[in-house]
Amino acid sequence: MDFPTWMSTIQQRTEAALEAAMPSPELAPARLHEAMRYAVLGGGKRVRPLLCHAAGAIFGADSQVLDAPAIAVELIHAYSLVHDDLPCMDDDVLRRGKPTCHVEFDEATALLVGDALQTQAFQVLSNRLVGVAATRQIEMLHLLATASGSRGMAGGQAVDLAAVGQPLTIGELEFMHIRKTGALIRAAVLLGAHCGEVMPDALERLGHFANRIGLLFQVVDDILDAEASTATLGKTAGKDAAQNKPTYVNILGAREAKAMSAKLRQDAHDALEPFGESALRLHELTDFIVERTF
């Protein structure tokens, strides 16, 4: 199977699993459920589920087992986008080419949508049908929580918030992104590996790989934000500069940011070396992250 076909297969099964995990819009409270579905379904590249499935494949994990952690991570990601877009945060009106959740519904609903999506992530991953040993499942739940909380994603958000208009060093910028984007990308990779027969040293190596692509993802995002158009991105372009947010591009300049992205890409490929052919999809995803235009 070539990469585009594999990617589309995983995206479709992720969409189906998300659809099945979301409460029906016919159940009360109907408006909340409708808004949750609006925020989650029918959009997004599903990079985190793709990483989860690709990492699981190295260790022979079953796709059906991988669906639960894949969508749990995606639900955390979706909740963070809904809350990020709120007026008291980034105050954005466009996401994945559609009006943001609080614009389409209202602020209070969007707040509850984010809250309920986070819960849904833990509900999905604590289902007894997930199909891994219970002790392993507990570890996975703890890993997801740690990646999402105040020392992970939410903490990265807080640093980002505090950084607006502040001159940051490259080190401080990295500290923020390792949490804000990196923690959940790392969780996606490690959760996938946990679904198969993985040994501690392989987890450590994958963790290193994940840290590289987490940063890579962000550097590329900054380059795209600076260079692409709103129509291509499906979200407001040039926002970081307009909000005076520190980015790799405005700290390093575009040329240096691109060199950094090339270096991270090479590091990521190198970290996968010992896994040989089994890591094919992770190699391909690494290239996809760099070469994407949206």
Minimum separation from the CB atom of position 12 to a copy of itself (A):
25
- Pick one of 16, 60, 151, 197: the residue that binds a copy of itself (CB under 8 A): 151
Establish if 41 lies at the interface with a copy of itself (CB under 8 A): no
Stretch that binds a copy of itself, among 42-50, 104-112, 239-247, 277-285 (CB under 8 A): 104-112
> Does residue 270 touch a copy of itself according to CB under 8 A?
no
Choices 7-15, 32-40, 198-206, 224-232; region in contact with a copy of itself by CB under 8 A: 32-40
SS (H, E, C) the chain: CCHHHHHHHHHHHHHHHHHHHCCCCCCCCHHHHHHHHHHHCCCCCCHHHHHHHHHHHHCCCCHHHHHHHHHHHHHHHHHHHHHHCCCCCCCCCEECCEECHHHHCCHHHHHHHHHHHHHHHHHHHCCCCCCCCHHHHHHHHHHHHHHHCCCCHHHHHHHHHHHCCCCCCHHHHHHHHHHHHHHHHHHHHHHHHHCCCCCHHHHHHHHHHHHHHHHHHHHHHHHHHHHCCHHHHCCCCCHHHHCCCCCHHHHHCHHHHHHHHHHHHHHHHHHHHHHHHHHHHHHHHHHHHHHCCC
Q: Is 195 in the site for a copy of itself (CB under 8 A)?
A: no
Q: Does 122 interact with a copy of itself (rule: CB under 8 A)?
A: yes
Applying CB under 8 A, the span of 44-52, 79-87, 197-205, 212-220 interacting with a copy of itself comes to 79-87
Residues that bind a copy of itself (CB under 8 A): 23, 27-29, 31-33, 36, 79-80, 83, 86, 88-89, 106-109, 111-112, 114-116, 118-120, 122-123, 126-128, 133-135, 137-139, 141-142, 144-146, 148-151, 154-155, 157-159, 161-162, 175
